[in-house]
Chains A and B, each alone.
Chain A
Amino acid sequence: MTPTAPPHHLPLAEPADRYRAMRLVRGFEEQALDLVREGVIAGGIHPYIGQEAVAVGVCAALRDGDLITSTHRGHGHVLAKGASPHRMLAELAGRVTGLNRGRGGSMHAADFSLGILGANGIVGAGAPIAAGAAWAEARAGRDTVVTAFFGDGALNQGVLLETFNLAAIWRLPVLFVCENNGYATTLPAAGAVAGGAVERARAFGIPAQTVDGMDCEAVLAAAAGAVERARAGDGPSFLECRTYRFEGHHTMERRLKLGYRTAEEVAGWRERDPLPRAAAALDPGEADRIDAGIGQLLADARTFALASPAPDISGACDYLYADGLRPRAGVTL
């Protein structure tokens, strides 16, 4: 029998809410790593561990009706914008109860009912889509704000620079969030981005600032200003969030033993872990209570995902066309 996911709501208004959301993302990713190792999640994932303060801080500045586009490293964004961890995990496991009915997986997770226009497997591809949605919303007279998350690697995609220009000349309500985690796979951002991230945005007349991406409250404060600007019709902003991924680029990396980062560097960033920092600001004992609650939620999500059936193979071409056009079969017997 196909189980039904329980209703899910993720408040982000208070510091404790934001700690809880970061714990949810962290715990979700740790569990997903287990499930990759167990072979339940095919293909592996790009873990978001270490970067939680960015997704949560930015999403805390948004309203329910706001939209986001995400990346290959998108679990944090999708969960912080309110997606059900049950259905997200089911999606990663390729189950019919997944957000995308098992058709998208980690790199394409979307929930249009929550304004999540999708993770994206192509670096930089989400930003122009976000700008287009922002154009449509603004021209329809709505004050929706659209956030495009992307990594430092995307700074070298030409289409992103084209998008900066279009967003600036048309004063689109877009928030560009660059998560500079120091690397595009193994390539250090330091040697790959001429002129710097914020300088690039400023060259297009887009207000830009760098924030500590390991501090959720700092990210929220910066994002809130940018969102307010966009909502008021004053155009796009750019945030460079300095952050770090504690895990490898992709789960596959564990086996490869690549030596592009030193153990000291990783350890140094782990000391700046956004979760203990946020926990320290809460009442004593509160973080522990939250952690226990999240532990239970994620255990339920796991049970839900594993109890959910795989999609029926007769539907492998379902949803290819909106009008139900059936492609010819590859094999005719």
Chain B
Amino acid sequence: MSKLSYTKALNRALGDALAADESVCVFGEDVGAGLAGPTLGLQARFGTDRVVDTPLSEQAFVSMAIGAALAGRRPVVELQIPSLLFLTFEQLANQAHKLSLMTGGQTSVPLTCLVPGSGSREGWAGQHSDHPYSLFAHVGIKTVVPATPSDAYGLLASAIRDDDPVIVFAPAAAMGVRQDVTWDLEPVPLGRARIARQGDDVTVVALGAPVHGALAVAEELAPEISVEVVDARTVHPFDWATLSRSLERTGRLVVIDDSNRACGFAAEVMATAAEEMRLTAPPRRVTRPDGAVLPFALELDRALQPDARQLTGAIRAVMK
């Protein structure tokens, strides 16, 4: 049996969406050639009017995708580098996200922004290693970070069907993951977390590639500590109900978050848990440092990303 790769799952989701719905189209750089992976072979299948190679004008083509959405399309834009989200923040945060409210509901913007290779790619240094998903949750844009191939398929499929803008982060560190998929791939609803492993003592909330690290840590600690791993999958809207149910049992919380610490995803999860949920010990988080800029040298790059050792330490700390 062949294993489904994360990249192939994204590719299947795009291909299925293009095949199922005439209004779906893709804009991006080198998408015809399929350079980043998710669009491989799609231009040959669907033509240059559905899978559109754009010049290097991200602000204009993201805006154009918004305009196409206003005219009835469901565009997907692929950004080659996560930091291009900073370049197009105006278009995403100030235009795409706001048009529904500002027009009093006259329109919505069913735009999907796919970012393959988000987070560190190891050795790509400061401007290619960002993971700014918290920023989009802060703004209020629906944001997903799939950890597994089947979720990559399912969340991208749902993002494209959703009537609002959705940012899909495909972490570089997760794109190598393969999975035995014995079932039909299906859309995964936005805003629904997945219990990746059941446990009774402590809840670890993870997202993207760290889900796999958290599962390994949970396995290692199994003889002493029963760790529940919640794969949040969606950053916004976060699945508070699933977290609350988990904390009802464990009362202890650790969040692992591969983004900058201040005002980050982990901060929000801990704050809400502290305000509204059952906690029997102070929660902990494992994140990149405040204001992190990943340095080039591999040792330094890795040193700033949350890892298994830090997660293990945090789990032991909340168990004290």
Contact = CB atoms under 8 A, between A and B. Distances in A.
A101 B101 CA distance: 10
Given A322-B108, A332-B276, A132 B103 contact: no
B24 to A, nearest CB: 12
Given A111-B106, A166-B55, A322-B163, A135 B60 contact: no
A131 interface: yes
A284 to B, nearest CB: 43
Contact of A132 (B67, B104, B142, B164): B67
Interface in A68-87: 69
Contacts of B104: 98-104, 319
Contacts of A130: 67
Contacts of B73: 136
B102 A129 contact: no
Given A117-B70, A128-B59, A136-B71, A112 B107 contact: yes
B59 A129 contact: no
A100 B66 contact: no
Contacts of B191: 325
Given A100-B102, A320-B140, A129 B107 contact: no
Interface string A105-138: 0001011110001101010010011111111110
Determine the interface band of chain A, counting residues with CB < 8 A from chain B: 35 or more
A118 B99 CA distance: 9
Given A100-B102, A139-B49, A332-B275, A131 B107 contact: no
B267 to A, nearest CB: 15
B163 A122 contact: no
A332 B63 CA distance: 36
B106 A132 contact: no
Interface residues of B, number: 44
Contacts of A102: 104
B226 interface: no
A319 B100 contact: yes
B65 interface: yes
Contacts of A111: 106
A104 B102 contact: yes
B57 A122 contact: no
Interface stretch (A48-56, A156-164, A214-222): A156-164
B187 interface: no
A136 B72 contact: yes
A111 B55 CA distance: 32
Nearest to B62: A128
A16 B220 CA distance: 83
Contacts of B127: none
A166 B64 contact: yes
Contacts of B75: 132
A104 B68 contact: no
Contacts of B55: 162, 165-166, 169
A133 to B, nearest CB: 4
A159 B106 contact: no
B179 interface: no
Contacts of A122: 90, 94-95
Given A319-B104, A320-B100, A322-B108, A133 B71 contact: yes
B57 A67 contact: no
A321 B73 CA distance: 17
B55 to A, nearest CB: 6
Q: Which residue among A69, A103, A136, A158 has the maximum number of chain B CB atoms within 10 Å of its CB? A: A136
B196 to A, nearest CB: 24
B64 A104 contact: no
Contacts of A140: 71-72
B12 to A, nearest CB: 24
B103 A129 contact: no
Given A132-B71, A159-B59, A162-B57, A319 B105 contact: yes
13 contacts: A67-B71, A110-B103, A128-B60, A129-B63, A129-B66, A129-B70, A130-B67, A132-B63, A132-B66, A139-B49, A159-B60, A321-B142, A323-B164
9 smallest CB-CB distances across A and B, nearest first, come from A132-B67, A132-B64, A128-B63, A101-B104, A322-B108, A162-B60, A322-B163, A162-B57, A319-B105
Given A112-B70, A125-B91, A325-B237, 20 more contacts: A103-B104, A104-B102, A104-B103, A110-B102, A122-B90, A128-B63, A129-B67, A131-B67, A132-B66, A132-B68, A132-B75, A134-B67, A159-B59, A166-B55, A319-B101, A319-B104, A322-B100, A322-B163, A323-B163, A323-B164
